[in-house]
Amino acid sequence: MKRALICGVSGQDGAYLARLLLDKGYAVYGSSRDAQMSSFNNLVRLGIRDRINLESVAISDFRSVLQVLMRIQPDEIYNLAGQSSVGLSFQQPVETLESISIGTLNFLEAIRFASRPIRFYNAGSSECFGDTEGRAADESMPFRPRSPYAVAKSAAFWEVANYREAYGLYACSGILFNHESPLRPERFVTKKIVAAACRIAGGSKEKLHLGNMSIRRDWGWAPEYVEAMWLMLQQDKPEDYVIATGESHSLEEFVESAFSAVHLNWRDHVVLDSELLRPADLATGRGNPAKARTRMGWQARHRMHDVVRLMAEAERNLAAPL
């Protein structure tokens, strides 16, 4: 039985990945900063909380990371930990940089120190590309990060590449474009939109406040994206992959789709709020997943409108399958 350690198991991707690996027969270990105090609501919601071996790990502390690796002896490590919000990174740039770049470096160094054939997946981000001016980003496009979050993710990406080349580690990064699900917390604009639309449809008199609605993003379905993470660690050779749908939609289209799903006109319920504008928001994000399709056989099955529909269905009925 393979052993996998998922760092950041309490988040959206961590929970779906844990379910996937359990279904594949893995012994799954999940870490958080304080496993005794964490609620692990997403694991509970997926019905897998009692099937995960939970560990407390401070990823910014090398000794803590090394100790858990030596104790668990994992075959695969999935590093999904660290501050995950672009917007919050402007308010907490130091915490963002340390939790992502230092945490990743500690895992890589611990794997090197352990001298075991551990395969390492690092959660990269499409935010690293910056503004691609409408072009679909592939693995050869240079990084031009425009947020503290993107800077941190870029640093972690090059750490992984360096350890792969310099020390021969099986280490790779998935450069994932936006991917959503009912497990998203409401600080993410997609969940904020869907949740507000459902509340308004249920009788709430609130207005939904949003910033720049002209931005365009490549939105996919999170349970499919964790399949790509697993596939990356099953290849003969470690490589980095862009994971995306290949389609781009505006935030206005996302809003319209969400309100249409509950039979409302979004224009009656949305307020543009200049205070929600970010210092350096990206105009367009779109990925080219051709390499993932040809090398791993992975491609997105759901598009933006599917994602909105599935999120709205789950929001209206929390007992619905995820």
Give the catalytic positions in this structure.
Answer: 125, 127, 149
CA distance 262 to 26: 39
Residues forming a β-bridge with 271: 209
CB neighbours of residue 101 within 10 Å: 21
Contact at 8 Å (CB) between 54 and 40? yes
CB neighbours of residue 51 within 10 Å: 13
CA distance 294 to 302: 18
Report which residue type is found at 187.
R
Using only C-alpha atoms, the chain has a radius of gyration, in whole angstroms, of 19
CA distance 190 to 197: 11
3-state secondary structure of 238: coil
Contact at 8 Å (CB) between 131 and 248? no
